C-alpha cells in the first residue's frame, strides 16, 4: 500500500458521530482539491468498478459517486477480473508500503505461522518529483512485524508534525479479520528512521462510536490533523451469520503532542 508524507498544522475540536460513509468502502485514501474532499477505495464487492470515489464539502458529509470508476482500464498486465486494492492518491516524493510476506509464506493471509516465517516489513522508497513513479536509490526498511503483531503489520501512512519536528508512521497490527486488529504508530526525527514504536492509536471500542476492527488510516494532505479509516459495521458478519462484510469510513481529528498521537474527536 502506498502512503505519503505531509506537514501538520493546528487542529480543531469537532463533535462525535458515527461513520461518514456507511457502505463498504475499505482502505480509504483522502485528499482535498478546490475546496472539496475526495476519498478513494477499491471495488469492495462492486464488480463493475475498480476504484470508487466519494466527495465531501466539509469532511463530515460524504456522497459516494455511484457508477463512477476512476480506473476503468486497470492495464493489460492486470488479471481478467482485476482485484484493485487500497488505492492512494497524492502528490508526494516518497512512497511507503508493506511487503506482503504472508503471500509468499506458508500460512495464508492471517496465519503467517508456518515455518519458514516470512517478515512483513514496511519500506520507504524515494521517487522522482517529476513523475512520482521513477524509483530513486534503494528502499529503506522502517519497521517489521514482531511477535506481538501476530501475522503482519500493514496499511502504513506517514505524516510530519512541524511543531515537534517528528514523523509519525501509522500502521495496522494483527489480522484484519480479528477484533484484536488495531492501528498503532511509531515516531522518528527523520523520515528515513529509525522509528520507535509508541503503541496503540486506535482499537475496537476506543471511540464514542464504538468502532470495530479499525484499519487503513490515511492522513489528509495539507491539513494533517484530519484522517479517515475504515471500521466494521455489520455485526451479523462478525457473528458468522453468512451476510457480507461492510467496512464503513470514519473521519477523525488527530491531536499531536511531542511523540504522542491520539484521537482528538470523531467527526
Return the closest-CA partner of residue 23 out of 57, 53, 59, 58.
53
- Looking at the predicted structure, is the pLDDT value of residue 41 above 80? yes
Residue 174: left if φ>0, alpha if ψ -120 to 50, beta else—which one? left
Nearest CA to 160 out of 94, 84, 82 is that of: 94
From CA 257, how far away is CA 176, in angstroms rounded? 28
C-alpha cell at 47: 464488480
For the domain that residue 112 is a member of, what is the CATH number?
2.115.10.20
The model's confidence at residue 43, banded by pLDDT at 50, 70 and 90, is confident
Lowest mean pLDDT among 18-27, 97-106, 139-148, 185-194: 97-106
Determine which of 93-107, 129-143, 173-187, 210-224 has the lowest per-residue pLDDT on average: 93-107
Structural domain count of the chain: 1
- Cell 461492510 sits at which residue? 246
Domain extent, residue 111, equals: 29-266
Question: What is the DSSP-derived secondary structure letter of residue 218?
Answer: E
- pTM equals 0.78
With CA atoms as reference, report the closest residue to 122 among 29, 191, 51, 24. Answer: 191
Q: What is the pLDDT of residues 148-204, one digit of tens each?
A: 998 889 999 998 888 888 999 999 999 898 999 999 999 999 989 999 999 999 999
Q: 5 in the Ramachandran plot: left (φ > 0), alpha (ψ -120 to 50) or beta?
A: beta
pLDDT tens-place string over residues 233-246: 998 998 999 999 99
Kindly state whether residue 208 falls inside one of the protein's structural domains. Answer: yes
Q: Smallest Cα–Cα separation from 250: which of 183, 186, 197? A: 183
Domain membership of residue 108 (yes or no) is yes
Amino acid at each position: 500500500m502506498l502512503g505519503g508524507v505531509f506537514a501538520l498544522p493546528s487542529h480543531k475540536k469537532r463533535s462525535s458521530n458515527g461513520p461518514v460513509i456507511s457502505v463498504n468502502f475499505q482502505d480509504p485514501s483522502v485528499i482535498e482539491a478546490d475546496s472539496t474532499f475526495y476519498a478513494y477505495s477499491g471495488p469492495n464487492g462492486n464488480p463493475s468498478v475498480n476504484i470508487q470515489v466519494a466527495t465531501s464539502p466539509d469532511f463530515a458529509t460524504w456522497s459516494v459517486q455511484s457508477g463512477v470508476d476512476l480506473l476503468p482500464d486497470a492495464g493489460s498486465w492486470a488479471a481478467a477480473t482485476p482485484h484493485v486494492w487500497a488505492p492512494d492518491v497524492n502528490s508526494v516524493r516518497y512512497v511507503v508500503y508493506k511487503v506482503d510476506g504472508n503471500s509468499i509464506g506458508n500460512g495464508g493471509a492471517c496465519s503467517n505461522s508456518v515455518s519458514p516465517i516470512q517478515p512483513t516489513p514496511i519500506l520507504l522508497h524515494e521517487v522522482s518529483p517529476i513523475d512520482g513513479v521513477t524509483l530513486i536509490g534503494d528502499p529503506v526498511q522502517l519497521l517489521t512485524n514482531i511477535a506481538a503483531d501476530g501475522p503482519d503489520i500493514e496499511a502504513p501512512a506517514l505524516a510530519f508534525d512541524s511543531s515537534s519536528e517528528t514523523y509519525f508512521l501509522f500502521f495496522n497490527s494483527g489480522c484484519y479479520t480479528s477484533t484484536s486488529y488495531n492501528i498503532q504508530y511509531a515516531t522518528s526525527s527523520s523520515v528515513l528512521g529509525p522509528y520507535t514504536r509508541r503503541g496503540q492509536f486506535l482499537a475496537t471500542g476506543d471511540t464514542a462510536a464504538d468502532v470495530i476492527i479499525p484499519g487503513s488510516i490515511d492522513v489528509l494532505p495539507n491539513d494533517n490533523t484530519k484522517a479517515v479509516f475504515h471500521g466494521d459495521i455489520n455485526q451479523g458478519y462478525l457473528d458468522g451469520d453468512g451476510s457480507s462484510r461492510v467496512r464503513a469510513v470514519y473521519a477523525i481529528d488527530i491531536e499531536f503532542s511531542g511523540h504522542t498521537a491520539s484521537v482528538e474527536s470523531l467527526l
